[in-house]
Structure 1
């Protein structure tokens, strides 16, 4: 079957049709023309947009172990609805992803519409003591190594991990948080935490770990990726390290570009997240980091929790919220501050460079891995439209602007109503 996307506006910095209206002809899973004339199935997408398929660097599907929050089926559905053709899953499940069979369990759940990529654990049992069989895990298909939402607190372990992975050119993902400075904290340390009487985590917690790890990287070589950075100084530290020639990359969670610690003002636990939302100064620095290229990618940081984990006093609630299905409305909210082509680049080319994957583009001869979206369409997030098993979204019961219309992954096209 052939497919023609008529009059669609291309957003792809690497495409010859970037910012142009095109007629994209797809045959046998490949883009065969940007000026197609006819096909067995045609869609007129006047006023709509298309880009390379989106890739999320960090999501939790809570499978195995907490399938009541999310599972591979529900996670796949909402990722596709959110515009993603590729998702990287965090290894901090129960049990964690630390063996070849664990990696195979997740990879086999890739579908025709969504490619699932796996981060394998750095340490056995996520305990930060003994390395996993990293080379075996790489051969099984893991694309990166991390401790999920935990930090690699053990400096010796990080050193060995970087040395082991240097030869296979795979990044070690670090969630930079000092084990002691972040213990028993509930939000960013600042004026608002003081006013609310909540114990805050200083941005120093993140910055100390980044500074330490950059020194280890200088010594060991290898590749390090700082996952979900949140402070202004973190941006500066990474910027300086890049200028010095270190192999370092980083990403930011989508909501950290939108919210600050002020959102916690009414004790709504949906705004208790990991890392915590920080100050307006930090948020502006993150936005500038995205625009300037210091920040390589934007991730969903999708972290589902059931109501029993969220409908509690603020200090007892688990940190995290869901964000995959509402990712594009978040991008639209940011598009007034960051050009949309840069935002799209941070969820297409940026993640693929970090993972050392081949770049794809909207061009003839390329695999048809595409996301189609409408910046003008509106929809409402509630129990009827939500595809996640959890409801911990900051957009709950809100009308949202910006809707994903569908994805194309090779010969599989999925369109949404």
Structure 2
């Protein structure tokens, strides 16, 4: 398919066309020409001329869940990838939140095969331990060879520090990325929200900030001893930002992410006991949000993930204590981030990070593969259920005013608008 983008403003700090309006001609999946004015070469060329059209390198999300296999009622791989495409994402890292979990090479092959032919690329994570039970390492090397780009017991901390030590040492043999979720279960106990004034007022059991921070401190000590590549997903506290900043100054090979909702909401939204705000890690305080945003700006926080986790209504429409953790976030991510940061920072946040996973970086220049996201950064609207493409509708962003929206993607020779 040949595609011609008309009068698109390019947002790419590494490009000579940064902040300039240009026509972009795409032929057979590659960017053939970028110029002030390009005429369609033939009648079969698809011309895309949209109001306030902006274009960047394709967006990348380091953490989504779909459900398939095992939880197809939440989301299938096919609809999940279509949702990601409509939300502007050309590449997503798939969390091992399935039944069964992907802990072998055959499981990774299944996920890769199920994602073939879609505009959005799916990059699966395998579990760190067999059946994600935290006892024995899974088939890390075999999964890596099958296409796994990292190893993670989804939202499950590595409770045994010796197991983390062995994993980091072993994974160095094949440049594997090891995840460790930041939570000390013994300190968190049966907590379900941030421990503080709000949890006391509402009578809900809390998870103190240091339950996250003490686990990160332990993991960093292990990393200092072993070497290797460590990723800490979904940090949520100011103390966590400080610990990781100090580790990076020491030269540790550590990265981290924060979920979009942990940049937007504080635990004060819990006062109506609405289960759509129940997530792990929990929503924290305004001081934590300020530190996290600062960490994103200065590069301490490497990724802002949507932490997209569809959940069927039966798991959410119950008492707060008994409801499942998770919110969807793909559809609302850009419109939320674009409120916190200037446009160039927002685009950096949503495009950075492929290299950490050993994936090739993308560029917006003539001769490059066409991996592009189309978007309008200025339109403002109230996020409603009609904006949700996911099968599940459990979004804590419903009713919020957003700024900017994705218009679609061009990737793998396809255009999804």
Q: Same fold (TM over 0.5)?
A: yes
- Which of 324, 343, 346 is the matching residue for 1:343? 346
1:84 aligns with 2:67: no
Q: Is the 8 A contact 2:112 2:123 kept in 1?
A: yes
1:241-252 pair list within 5 angstroms: 241-252=247-258
Is the contact between residue 6 and residue 46 of structure 1 (CA under 8 Å) also seen in structure 2? Answer: no
- Answer whether contact 2:158 2:180 (CA < 8 A) is retained: yes
Q: Are 1:394 and 2:396 matched, yes or no?
A: yes
Task: Tell me if the contact between 2:244 and 2:300 (Cα under 8 Å) persists in the aligned partners.
Answer: yes
Out of 401, 414, 417, the position equivalent to 2:416 is 414
List runs of 5+ in structure 2 lacking aligned partners: none
Counterparts of 1:44 and 1:256 in 2: how far apart (Å)? 36
Which blocks of at least 5 consecutive residues in structure 1 are unaligned?
Answer: none
TM-score, normalization: structure 2? 0.95
Relative to total residues, which structure has the larger helix share, 1 or 2?
Answer: 2
1:385 to partner: Cα distance: 4.3
Aligned equivalents of 2:387 and 2:289: distance in 1? 30
Count of paired positions: 411
Q: How does 1:5-404 map to 2 (within 5 A)?
A: 5-35=5-35, 37-39=38-40, 40-45=45-50, 47-110=52-115, 111-334=117-340, 338-349=341-352, 351-377=353-379, 381-396=383-398, 400-404=402-406
Report the CA distance shift for 1:381/1:47 in structure 2 as closer, same or farther (over 3 A).
Answer: closer
User: Greater CA deviation, 189-198 or 29-38?
Assistant: 29-38
Q: CA deviation at 1:194?
A: 0.9
Structure 1 CA distance, aligned partners of 2:362 and 2:385?
A: 36
SS of the counterpart of 2:185?
coil
Instruction: Using the TM superposition, give the Cα deviation of residue 55 of structure 1 relative to its aligned residue in structure 2, in angstroms.
Output: 1.3
Question: Does the CA contact (< 8 Å) of 1:92 and 1:121 recur in 2?
Answer: no
Give the distance between the partners of 2:130 and 2:105, measured in 1 at CA: 13
Secondary structure of the corresponding residue to residue 176 of structure 2: coil
Q: C-alpha displacement at 1:171, in angstroms? A: 1.4
| Conserved? CA contact 2:56–2:347, under 8 Å | yes
3-state DSSP of counterpart to 2:123:
strand
Contact 1:228–1:250 at 8 Å: present in 2 too?
A: yes
Q: Distance in 1 between the 2:387 and 2:209 partners?
A: 36
What's the CA shift for 1:14? 1.9
Task: Give CA-to-partner distance per residue, 1:325-350, whole Å, 9 cap, x none.
Answer: 2222222232xxx222222212212x
CA RMSD of superposed structures (Å): 1.6
> How far 1:400 sits from its partner (Å)?
4.4
Note the C-alpha offset of 1:147.
Answer: 0.7
Worse overlay, 152-161 or 13-22 = 13-22
SS in 2 for 1:167: helix
